Structures are given as C-alpha cells and as structure tokens.
Structure 1
Amino acid sequence: MPATGKTKKSTKKNAKEFDFIVVSNRLPVDRVRNADGKDDWRRSPGGLVTALGPVMAKSDGAWVGWHGAPGEKLDAFGHENMKLIPVELSAEEVELYYEGFANATLWPLYHDVIAPPEFHRTWWEAYRTVNKRFADAVAHSAAQGAIVWVQDYQLQLVPKYLREARPDLQIGFFNHIPFPPLEIYAQLPWRRALLEGLLGADLLGFQRPNDASNFLRCVRRYVNATVKQNQITIGERTVRAGAFPISIDTAQISALAATPEVQERAKQIRRDLGNPKTVLLGVDRLDYTKGIRHRLKAFSELLEEGRLNVGDVTLIQVASPSRERVESYRMLREEVEGTVGRINGTFDTIQHTAVRYLHHSYPLAEMVALYLAADVMLVTALRDGMNLVAKEYVATRANNDGALVLSEFTGAADQLRQALLINPHDIDGLKDSMMAAVEISASESARRMRLMRRQILDHDVERWSQEFLSSLRSKT
C-alpha cells in the first residue's frame, strides 16, 4: 500500500528532520505523577533504550512510538536528550491491532503455537492501518538518507510502507521474538503480505541463526524473489537477513551488584525467607511461553519425593503482570496462582514457605538484589527469542558462584552454553537438572560461571547495536 501525500524532499534538512530514527510500538518513556500532582515522563527500563539512547544523541536522533494513552494526541516532545514523536492510537486500535493481531495472532504463532492463534480480518485491517500511521510519522520526520531502525513484530509492515514513501532511507528491522518455521508460518492468512512488508528493509535482524533461516525459507516459498545464502534479491534491490543476538547493559548490572546497598538488600531477602540453604529464583512476565507451570510442577514433585525440603529450599517466583486484558493471560494467572496455593498448602510449615510468589514489577536495583540472593536461576521458557533474565543473572555473579538452569529453547542458550541446559517439557530431566544445580560444587559452579560471564562481558547490548547499525550502513 503506497503512502499518500508524498512530498519531494530537498537536500537541505529542516528543524523537524532527523538523521537516525528508532521506531517501536511504545515510546521509551512512561507517564508518572510528580509529588506536586503534575504529570511527567520517566525513562522506561530496558536494554533497548540503554543501547540506542547514546546512538540517537550522537546522530541527531528521534524515537517514534505510541505513548501509552488511547485516544490522546500529543505533539513531539523532548526527554533526556531524546526527541520523542508520539503516534496516536484509539482504544479500538489498541484492542484490534495490539491486543488482537499482535498478541493474539502473531505472538502465539511465532512462539510455536503454544497457545492457538486467532485469525480475524478486522484485526489484520487494524494492523495495516496502524503500521501505515507509524510509517507516515517516520516519513515526515526523517532527513534525506536517514537511517531508520524498526523494532519488532508489531510493525512488520512499516519497512514496505517506508520504502514506498521514502526510497532514499536506509531501513533496518529487528525481530525480538522468534521467527517460526515454514510449517507453522504457513497458517497465517496474510503470510505473503507480512513477508513483503519486512522485505522493505535493507537489513533484517533476528535473535538466532535458526530464526533467520526460517524467514529465508518462508521467503523462498511465498515471495517472488531470489534467495541466495543470506541475501534476497527483489528486482534491483538486495535485502540481507542474519542473526544479531541482543544482550544487556552488562556494566550497569555489574555495577549495581557491587554496591553495598544492593548487597545488603540481598542478604535481607535471605533473612526474610528464614535463611534457607538454597534459594531458587524464577523471573518472568506472566506469559504462557515462559514455562512457569512446568517449573512449578517440577518443584512440587521434588518436594513430594523428598529430594528437596521446605526450610532447606525456597523458590521465589516473580511473575510481572502482562496483557491482563487478554483472556488467555487471565486464565494463566488463575492457573499459576492456584498451583502456588496448592504447593504452599501442602508443603508449607509454620516457619517456612515453599513458594514466595510475587505478582509485581520491580525496579532494576531490587531485581539485582534478587539475583544476588538466589543460588539457582531457573529459566524454563518453552520458546523465547532471547531471555535477558538469564544474562542479567550471570552479570551479577562477580564471585563466579551460583547456577543457571536454562531452557534450550531460548536464544540465550546459544551464548550461555555452560548453563545446565534443559528441555522444559521433560519434567524428569528438569527435576534432575534442578537437583544438579542445588548440589553443584563450588569449583564446577565457578568453571561454568566464569565462561558465561566472559561471553556477556564481551557481547553487551552496546556491541549488539553497533554491529547491527554497522552492517546496515555497510550494505554488504
């Protein structure tokens, strides 16, 4: 769908044009209420903001995204040296485009159909409309020859719309979630249109080599293009696809873990739990892809079999709220909380709790304290593009202690190969790996952790952004 109202671009940049633009579903800020009762903005937590903020500052950059309030129109504004360009979404569009097509169609489809995706034409039309609006906002704000980096599955049509409106732009796209195999992607009624949308970019980035391979297979099947290795030729254009695994701000996490305040908070957490011998930790969004139910089942069976005992071991499960208006997420919350209640009702003692369940989001300093307090980190995702929690845990272990139990179905498993890798569907295997983590020797823990820490110290989020943007600029 070509953009309308296209204007001829002059070679002179005006005050509203930017050399570098990031496009994501949400702006990198959250609205907060000050002590005086007035609204203000606060930078959102997350590695993407940390990685791209300095790049934007150096490149006269802007960020395009929705500001989080349905039906509210805002002018562009500045925050912490970032220029922010809000895109307006109505309440109906949030329901159809975001909660519907993005999170009830694409999210389950791209995560191996762990939950059944829904296919509704009204959702698809809303997705097209919103993607066009995002592309228009970029087209009106980008300088001649600017670099535009589009982020994630909510905006897969934006590259094509941008290419049609502004062929002068350098366009990159990064998919933060998995890209499904051909046999699963084939179910999508609008499979070709989405692929053509993505192919408006010059460079497509994925978390894992398998994701890039899946995408290339789908292009071969459904698009009239020539695919050779990682390059796709469409007419006179060449599009490249490859793996650029995202990482974390390792220095920030390490620095927080070294502060006396955070270290004391970690000790306090253990004291509040009754000083168990071993603290197990799970940190997830409350999402059906995270394998929380599998983790709880394995822990419950270990308690039932007497391989673990309440008092010696406590599991902390942080499950931050997620998409609570979507029915499948409401049902998941009921099931998880019911399971936690049954475990605690069966195994708790007066002094000790089996599972400390926390349905909250926490500031980064508190999360680092939880990582420090934990002897074993449990990452049991059924499918995950990367899983940065695993990397954050490793970043806190300056003493090379602790153990990481990590699903092989996460992108992080490609980099953190010294973790205790598990198939979360294999409950007996998961139980054995949990026991191995609990009983690991100090020397074996140090050997594994030292190698994993070296990997994330060498491959942090700044290196991720630099490698992607360098590749986009090189066009080779």
Structure 2
Amino acid sequence: MANRLPVDRREGSWEPSPGGLVSALAPVVSAHRGAWIGWAGIHDEDVEPFEFDGMSLFPVALSHDEHHQYYEGFSNATLWPLYHDLIVAPQYHRPWWKAYYAVNSRFAEAVIAVAAHGATVWVHDYHLQLVPDMIRAQRPDVQIGFFNHIPFPPVEQFAQLPWRDSILNGLLSADVIGFQRESDATNFQQSCLRLLGTSCEHRRTKIGVYPISIDVDEVLRATESEAVNEVARRFRSDLGDPATLILGVDRLDYTKGILHRLHAFEELLEDGLLDPKETCFVQIAVPSREGIDAYQDLRDEVERLVGHINGRFGTLDRSVVHYFHRSYSADSTIALYLAADVLLVTSLRDGMNLVAKEFVTARQGRAGALVLSEFAGAADELRQAVLVNPHDITGLKHAIHQAAIIRPEDARARIATMAATVGDYDVHQWARDFLDDLQPATAPADC
C-alpha cells in the first residue's frame, strides 16, 4: 500500500508511473503476485480494481478537496518540510489534519476489506502513518510493516507537530517499522521515548534499518539495449558533443539542491575552471506538487537562474545549461546516464536517492563520476562518490571540478566498486530482508 498506484492513466490506458518509490516497489509486488492499494491519480471518480503487470491494483477514491488538504496540505506542506530539516516552514492547519485522518481511515478500510486472514500488509511512507493503528484495531490477525522512505526528524523538530502523539501511536501498531538510515531509526526511538514515554520493546515493535535499492537487472537490461544506447548517442550529439556533459535528474523539489548546483556551476564558468564551449549542464526537473506555493516559487527561481547563466555564458546557437521540466521514461533516463560524464546529486536532505544508485549501475564498465551529497542516504553506501556538503558552494564547486577532470581509469574503478555495492543489495534483497523480519516471531521482537 502506498499513496499512489504505480500507474498513470493517459489517453484512456494505464502506463507505469515515474518515480523512485514505484521503480523500487513494483518489481517486488509483481514478483509476489501481490496487491497494491493506492489513489489512481484521478479526482472525484471511482475506479474499479484491475490487473497491471502482474499486480492486482485497488484504487482508493479521493475528491479534489480531499487531495488538496490531505496530500498537498498535510502531507506535503506540513510533514514534508518538517521531516526535511525545515528547509521551508511547515504549516499547521487543523482542517488539513482532519483530512489526513479521514483519508488514512479510508486506506485502512480498503486493506481491511481485501486482506486475507493472516495476510502481510506493507504500508509505505509518510502519507499513511496512521494506517497501521487503524488496521490493527480491526484486523489483529494480519502482520503489518511500515517503511518510511523519507528522513525522520530529530525529536526537537518533530515535537513541533501538534498531532505528534497520534503519528507515533499510528506507527507503533506496526510489527516492523523500517527506516533508510540509522539516524532516522534513532530519531524515531527518541521521539517515542521523550514524547510518549514508551519504547519499542513495550509495544513489541521491531525498528530496523533497510536502505532501499533498485532493480539492478532492469537497469542492466536497458544499458545493453541498442535502442537505449542510440538514444544516448543522439542526445549527446544534439547537445553538440561537449567534452564534458554534466547531468542532474531530480523531481523539482526544494530538498534536491538544484539551485545550489546551478550557482556552483555558474561560478566554475566564471572562474574559468570549466569552459562553456566545452561543457554542457543538463538539468532534468520532473514536475512535482505544482499546486503548492513553495514548488511554484522554486520553479520560477530555477528557470530565472538557468536563463541568467545562459545569458552570461551561452551563445545564440548554443546554451550552456539545458533545462527540461518534464518526465522521462525509465529507458530514456538510463540513456541520459549513458550520455553523461558526471551526475550531480546535491540533495539538502534525502531519504535515499535512487538516481545515484541507478547511475553507478548503468555506468558499469564505463568511466563517469558521481557527486553525491552527504545528506542523501545513498552516501552511506556509495563511499567512492565525490561526497559533498551542498550548502558549501565553494566545496561543491571543487567537487564538480574534481568530477569533471577525474582520470578515466580512476573513474572506472570508483564506478565498479559502487556498482558492486548496489548489485550486492538490490531491491529484491531489500524486500526479502524487510519481509523476513515481518514474519511472525516465536519470541517477542526486540527494538
């Protein structure tokens, strides 16, 4: 179960949705012939359950107003900034909370209606933190897991939330709660202890760290496709075959540090460390939460800065920054990785960042460099990346320059090591580890 089904309806047919959560979970659900409960992305319409790519999909209906208050409001203007270091100020509105509670209840009822006796229920992400307790109240027979894909904030930060006790109690009804990083698990445990006066062993809830991964075989399949490789060659050719192609692939979100990397890139051109005639920066910004003011403001600022840099360093027939505000298919994204020399992942705060893992997997046997924020969960595993504090523009400049001039043999060795790390713990192993821990235990679960 997740907020969204793994599909979008386009021109009357269903197509796979873009996004890290879908790319990670869909192979797991398909492999287990499981069911996926979520919103179909359509307002004010009841959609009947249907089959898609080996999954049984059960849509949950949302009105336009419910979506605005539960998703754009409480989930993404309250919880998202609260859980991401207060990069923008969270907004606390009681009607949003009431909508969040009501929609979580509807998701729980959908599970209760379709889950077989003794079923395993896996709830995903911050949109549905009340669901485990709501299911447990009516279905004590099922095993409930919850995985938090985003960071969990320090207790001093989380304590701001007026409904903090309800969130913690909602989660503690799960048998297993999974986090991306040790720090997230620690933050959650401290919040339970200091705000509720309870700990995991009292609730028989196991707290675990399960860093999410990717479907390695699918990425490698794409890299071996002649069609994908031809798209990569054509993409680079259309940009004028630059000596160095730098790439960013992100949702258009203020947590991704897109403005920081653009400022650093501009200074590299200004200082003469990168030649605008030989260097090209491509930024893919997938549209995201466009009904929220902070995202609209970010889009305006990114587009203004891109225009400013091109005005300073571009020519009439050649832009130095190419900005694409659109989604790309999985194969097209792999083609971008194959075309690029450097990938910038400069998140100010990120649960994991699967783009980084996809890039190093796609680059196996090739040169290439990854500039990776230390504030992304992937930094715990991909230690051969050029690690950086994205708030430090001087340090970020040095990191991008280092990645742009790295020796090919050094780049290949680093990529090989990181790709092996991802290959040893792919999305299927991630799911096995979590689901194995979720099976009924003969002894009380420990913290």
TM-score range, shorter chain: over 0.9
Q: How does 1:104-143 map to 2 (within 5 A)?
A: 104-143=77-116
Q: 1:254 aligns with which of 220, 242, 247?
A: 220
Task: Note the C-alpha offset of 1:73.
Answer: 1.5
- Tell me what 2:298 maps to: 332
Task: Note the C-alpha offset of 1:257.
Answer: 1.1
With 268-277 and 55-64 compared, the bigger mean Cα shift is at 55-64
Q: Is 1:274–1:311's contact at 8 Å kept on the other side of the alignment?
A: no
- Tell me what 1:208 maps to: 181
Task: Note the C-alpha offset of 1:400.
Answer: 3.8
**Counterpart-to-counterpart distance in 2, 1:381 and 1:54:** 26
Q: Is 1:296–1:340's contact at 8 Å kept on the other side of the alignment?
A: yes
Q: Is 1:47–1:249's contact at 8 Å kept on the other side of the alignment?
A: no
The 3 A distance-change label for structure 1 pair 426 and 59 is closer
Q: 1:379 aligns with which of 332, 345, 355?
A: 345
Q: 1:31 aligns with which of 1, 4, 9?
A: 9
Report sequence identity in percent.
Answer: 54
| Secondary structure in structure 1 of the residue aligned to 2:41 | coil
**Counterpart-to-counterpart distance in 2, 1:309 and 1:57:** 47
Q: 2:354 aligns with which of 358, 364, 388?
A: 388
- Tell me what 1:8 maps to: none
- Relative to the length of structure 1, the TM-score reads 0.90
**Counterpart-to-counterpart distance in 1, 2:143 and 2:351:** 25
Task: Note the C-alpha offset of 1:145.
Answer: 0.9
Q: Is 1:153–1:175's contact at 8 Å kept on the other side of the alignment?
A: yes
| Secondary structure in structure 1 of the residue aligned to 2:118 | strand
- Tell me what 2:202 maps to: 233
Q: Is 1:47–1:461's contact at 8 Å kept on the other side of the alignment?
A: no
- Tell me what 1:465 maps to: 431
Any stretches of 5+ residues in structure 1 without a counterpart?
1-22, 34-38
- Tell me what 1:68 maps to: 41
- Relative to the length of structure 2, the TM-score reads 0.96
RMSD across aligned C-alpha pairs, in angstroms?
1.5
Task: Note the C-alpha offset of 1:46.
Answer: 4.8
Task: Note the C-alpha offset of 1:474.
Answer: 4.9
**Counterpart-to-counterpart distance in 2, 1:309 and 1:55:** 45
With 240-249 and 252-261 compared, the bigger mean Cα shift is at 252-261
Task: Kindly indicate which of the two structures has a greater share of residues assigned to helix.
Answer: 2
Larger Rg: 1
| Secondary structure in structure 2 of the residue aligned to 1:344 | helix
**Counterpart-to-counterpart distance in 2, 1:156 and 1:80:** 27
- Tell me what 2:167 maps to: 194
The one-letter code sitting in structure 2 at the alignment partner of 1:25 is: N
**Counterpart-to-counterpart distance in 2, 1:140 and 1:267:** 50
Q: Is 1:320–1:361's contact at 8 Å kept on the other side of the alignment?
A: yes
Residues 330-387 of structure 1, C-alpha deviations (whole Å, 9 max, x = no match): 0100000000000000110244321011111111111111111110100001000000
The 3 A distance-change label for structure 1 pair 389 and 449 is same
**Counterpart-to-counterpart distance in 2, 1:276 and 1:309:** 10
The one-letter code sitting in structure 2 at the alignment partner of 1:32 is: R
Count of residues in correspondence between the two structures:
442
With 298-307 and 350-359 compared, the bigger mean Cα shift is at 350-359
| Secondary structure in structure 2 of the residue aligned to 1:328 | helix
**Counterpart-to-counterpart distance in 1, 2:33 and 2:276:** 56
Q: Is 1:51–1:465's contact at 8 Å kept on the other side of the alignment?
A: no
- For the pair 1:95 / 2:68, whether they are aligned, the reply is yes
Q: 1:300 aligns with which of 242, 260, 266?
A: 266
**Counterpart-to-counterpart distance in 2, 1:322 and 1:126:** 21
The one-letter code sitting in structure 2 at the alignment partner of 1:416 is: L
- Tell me what 1:16 maps to: none
The one-letter code sitting in structure 2 at the alignment partner of 1:347 is: F
The one-letter code sitting in structure 1 at the alignment partner of 2:297 is: M
Task: Note the C-alpha offset of 1:250.
Answer: 1.1
The 3 A distance-change label for structure 1 pair 304 and 71 is same
**Counterpart-to-counterpart distance in 1, 2:306 and 2:20:** 31
**Counterpart-to-counterpart distance in 1, 2:189 and 2:291:** 34
| Secondary structure in structure 2 of the residue aligned to 1:78 | strand
**Counterpart-to-counterpart distance in 2, 1:306 and 1:65:** 50
- For the pair 1:171 / 2:149, whether they are aligned, the reply is no
Q: How does 1:217-228 map to 2 (within 5 A)?
A: 217-225=190-198, 227=199
- For the pair 1:287 / 2:265, whether they are aligned, the reply is no
| Secondary structure in structure 1 of the residue aligned to 2:205 | strand
